[in-house]
A and B are shown apart, each in its own frame.
Chain A
Amino acid sequence: MNARSAALLAGLAILLCVPYFTPPYLLHLLIQALIWAFIYTAWSMMGRFGFVSLGHGAFMGVGAYAPALLWNYYDVTPWAGIPLGVLLSALLAVVIGYPCFRFRVVGHYFALVTLALSQVVMLSVVAARDITGGSLGFTPRAVGHSWYALQFPEKSYFYVIALVLWLGGLAVWRWIDRGIGREALDAIAEDEEAASAIGIDVMREKLRVTVISAALTALGGAIYGQYFMYLNPETVSGISVSLQIVFAAIVGGMYDLFGPTAGALVTISLNEGLRVGFGTHFIGAANTIYGILLILCIIFMPRGIVGTLRKMHMPRAPTKAVPAE
């Protein structure tokens, strides 16, 4: 155990030292990877129990836009704006989650209802174009280096913030994993009726994990906005980002702690590699290959990269069934 914590500490130290020896471009990619890995991890907290949400674009959008709007129009510091956005997102999760779980909206239906939700948020942002800038996007007012405004032109600050965020996401994952709710959620994923029959409060367990997942996604969206200093309804909400979240998590492996992180690393390096390799001649080449990979991944390794690797290492590990709808 001691060797293990020593290894963990060493790993953390190396991660912390990264900004000192990486070129800015690589650091930029790492920050992106960490923020997305956090969001994918947040999605997988629900996804791994079979609640496939296509609405996480909605939570990310609310989390990103709320602090930026408050900052520009009312000078509210992101330190207050971000919690507010997260709270709003959690509320949205309850508003959509409660009736869904109450009426047993599962599987396809749940995916499609949440898809509608992400579309509502995106179109609302576009419709309120006088305030949000609509499809042209929204730029938070820049003030240079400031803790109050949570804006840092130097990338190393955001690297540390993103690193803390990501570690926090992993910690929440472990916390859910070790809690009593884990078994209840597994049982629900297996058979909802049976779980409810043995006295599991299905509604409470589902709602809790949904709210946690939505709140963390909103937090990720907020940090994304603070880092990029530009928000666009298409890139932080709506159907395409919702699908992007789901797919990266699946490709990486949503059942494993580091699966969503692997998904983020793979998709970002694929995207960048193809962009650098092909230049701007082949717009769309990256996503074309990405699309094919996704289909192959779902057909041939539904447990994702990490899940498949782990299975190869431990051939006699207890195999868990693919979650039912």
Chain B
Amino acid sequence: MDIYLLEAIINGILLGGVLALLALGLNLIFGVIDVVWIAYTDLVMCGMYVVYWLYVGFGWPLLLACAAAIAGVAALGVLVHVLIIAPILGSAPINQLLATGGLLFFLQSFATLLFGTDFRNLGIRLPIIELGEIYISTARLLAFSIALIGASALYFFLKSTFIGTAIRAIAQDRDIIGLMGVDQRRIYLVTSAIGGALAGLASCLLVLQYDVHPFIGNTFGPLIFMICVLGGLGDMIGGFVAAFIISQIISIVGYYSNTELAYVLAFAFFIALMFVRPRGIFVR
């Protein structure tokens, strides 16, 4: 097999990890609160700026800066829910989606206002691992591993804690949960915080690989929505698998031609699959 193709496939798997993490967060929020946060990847952008400013501007240690970013974006997630989603929880779901679209405009232009449109990076160069003739970036490998650890942590949280069980229950039946003595509002807040924390974690992993700029959310946003719909909105395992399918398409096609064409084909594949399996690849 072509050694460079193998490299492309490995890079695809590594990219898939971070995409899967983001898809997980979005799916969790959709499954529980029944809302699509269109501005989800713009929360990631905010997290990336937090890491950048604490690390480069204030000289914080990287790990501390990352922890602050995760906590900060989690708090932002709670704010999004309290300020934007909660007041219109009763109206049509599409209104909630559009309200978070307003948030997208706000975050992107506010970041432009604060930081300008310059591309900024941490200036950290992680070593590159050589496996025979294959080169693998440590930043990507790290991102992949931590994304998997994050995803498993979420899995155990949902499976083995009381509040995790309540979250899974509410995703299955929103109406009955109040009768079981669970405070729905509290679950929504916890879910928003977890969704935000996942975005914060993803921002720490992405800031090691990509430059930060106010519109970086647009690079990943449509991709993540596509992955979530492909896996079935709210279906966490479906989204996880779909992330790897899409990342493979992107890196293999990108290897044979260019990146934009790879994205075009991934989106076209998505649209085509919508017609075969409109509710996600794993739904019969």
Interface of A with B (CB < 8 Å)? 50, 52, 96, 99-100, 102-105, 107-109, 111-113, 115-117, 119-120, 123-124, 126-127, 238-240, 243, 246-247, 250, 282-288, 290-295, 297-299, 302, 322-325
Contact = CB atoms under 8 A, between A and B. Distances in A.
Nearest to A100: B274
B88 A299 contact: yes
Interface residues of B, number: 50
Contacts of A284: 108-113, 214
B267 A120 contact: yes
Contacts, number: 154
A58 to B, nearest CB: 11
Interface of B: 30, 36, 38, 84, 87-88, 91-95, 97-99, 101-113, 116-117, 214, 218, 221-222, 225-226, 228-229, 233, 258, 260-261, 263-264, 267-268, 270-271, 274-275, 278
Contacts of B221: 239
A240 B218 CA distance: 9
Contacts of A286: 109
Contacts of A323: 92
A23 B10 CA distance: 60
Given A115-B222, A119-B222, A288 B110 contact: yes
Contact of A294 (B93, B105, B274): B105
A116 B102 contact: no
10 contacts: A103-B275, A105-B274, A108-B94, A111-B36, A111-B94, A123-B267, A243-B105, A247-B105, A288-B110, A291-B106
Contacts of B233: 108-109
B99 A295 contact: yes
Given A119-B263, A124-B264, A283-B117, A247 B102 contact: yes
Interface of B is mostly: helix
A107 B94 contact: yes
B66 to A, nearest CB: 26
Contact of A288 (B101, B106, B218): B106
Contact of B92 (A127, A291, A297, A324): A324
Contact of A282 (B113, B270, B278): B113
A266 to B, nearest CB: 14
Given A117-B271, A243-B101, A299-B88, 11 more contacts: A52-B98, A105-B278, A109-B233, A112-B228, A113-B271, A123-B263, A127-B260, A283-B117, A299-B84, A302-B91, A323-B92
Contacts of B268: 120
Contacts of B228: 112
A290 B105 contact: yes
Given A108-B97, A109-B229, A299-B87, A116 B103 contact: no
B102 A291 contact: yes
Contact of B271 (A120, A282, A285, A291): A120
A217 B94 CA distance: 22
Given A239-B218, A283-B112, A99 B275 contact: yes
A126 B109 contact: no
A322 B95 contact: yes
Contacts of A117: 267, 271
B112 A104 contact: no
A105 B278 CA distance: 7
Interface centre among A116, A117, A240, by most chain B C-beta atoms within 10 angstroms, is: A116
A298 B98 contact: yes
B271 A116 contact: yes
A288 B278 CA distance: 36
A123 B109 CA distance: 22
A126 B215 CA distance: 17
Contacts of A299: 84, 87-88, 99
| Ranked 10 nearest A-B pairs via Cβ | A291-B106, A294-B102, A287-B109, A284-B112, A291-B105, A127-B260, A284-B109, A99-B275, A295-B102, A103-B278
Given A119-B267, A284-B112, A127 B91 contact: no
A112 B87 CA distance: 23
